[in-house]
Amino acid sequence: MKVKKFFYSQKVAPYIFVVPFVLSFLIFWIYPLISSITMSFQDIGAVSSEWIGFKNYTKLLKDKVFITAICNSAKYMFFTLVLLIPFPMLFAVLMDSRLVKAKGVWKAVLYMPALTSVVISGTLFRLMFTEYPTGQMNIITQALGLGTFKWLKMGWSGMLALLVVACWRWTGVNMLYFLSGLKSIDSSLYEAAEIDGASSWQKFRYVTLPLLKPTTVYVLTISIYAGLSMFLESYMLWAGNNSPNNIGLTIVGYLYKRGIEKNDMGYGCAVGVVLMVIALAINIVQLIANGTFKNKED
């Protein structure tokens, strides 16, 4: 009876409910994080490890392949932010208006790519962007009189292929985020703006955009992380981690190459720690710039 009374206590019950989350957070996030940081200062062999201080990090500064991976991930992140924030927001506004019919069908169609396996979609897009004349992209360019291209062997076209995959996969997801944000805006605000003679653009500029800011900041934050951590799409497009001249190599791809393929876990962990620091730094800067960290009293 005492045990039952203990578990049914209003003071104890909340802690019991949060225990699974706390344990999973400690076991699957904090412990791996601490282990990765520790391993980044080690030279890890098959049976033993040796502390080597900052040698892995100093080696990273001179690693040209790592610099290439950072540049590729940074470009991919930048272009995905440019494409996957304004356009899904526009689609969400259109979807929330009276101009679009059968909204449920369009939502399902746009969200369906996110449910598709990256392995399957990556393989299909690799066939689309093949250098052979029978590839869908080359069929289009030939019809336009532009000839054929070796899409996955050139820097600009390889990045284009990655961006096409990203837009195809995540446009619907981001659109649904913005749709949920639009649903939280009181319709009376639009009615008041309309009474004051505001145009559609003015309502969007002075009502929709400011009230969508929390959703926009959230989408921006997860998009920065997603852009920097992209790996599987690149891996599937080039059927491995060895794209020509490393045009498709990302930071996570380089982590996988050094840590798993070359069995250099210490160096791989150093790459992972640098990635975490870069992602945190960028997100903290943009959160400060957006006023998220600003004191309410200010």
pLDDT (tens digit per residue) in 125-172: 999 999 999 889 999 999 999 889 999 999 999 999 999 999 999 999
* pLDDT tens, position by position, 37-67: 999 999 987 777 889 999 999 999 899 999 9
The pLDDT, as a whole number, for residue 2 is 63
Q: 3-state SS string over the chain?
A: CHHHHHHCCCCCHHHHHHHHHHHHHHHHHHHHHHHHHHHCCEEECCCCEEECCCHHHHHHHCCHHHHHHHHHHHHHHHHHHHHHCHHHHHHHHHHHCCCCCCHHHHHHHHHHHHHCCHHHHHHHHHHHCCCCCCCHHHHHHHHCCCCCCCHHHCHHHHHHHHHHHHHHHHHHHHHHHHHHHHHCCCHHHHHHHHHCCCCHHHHHHHHHHHHCHHHHHHHHHHHHHHHHCCCHHHHHHCCCCCCHHHCCCCHHHHHHHHHHHCCCHHHHHHHHHHHHHHHHHHHHHHHHHCCCCCCCCC
Residue-wise pLDDT tens digits, 205-230 = 899 999 999 999 999 999 999 999 99
Provide the percentage of residues in the chain whose pLDDT is more than 90.
Answer: 59
pLDDT at 4: 65
Q: Is the pLDDT of residue 266 over 80?
A: yes
pLDDT for residue 151: 93
Band (pLDDT 50/70/90 cuts) for residue 83 is very high
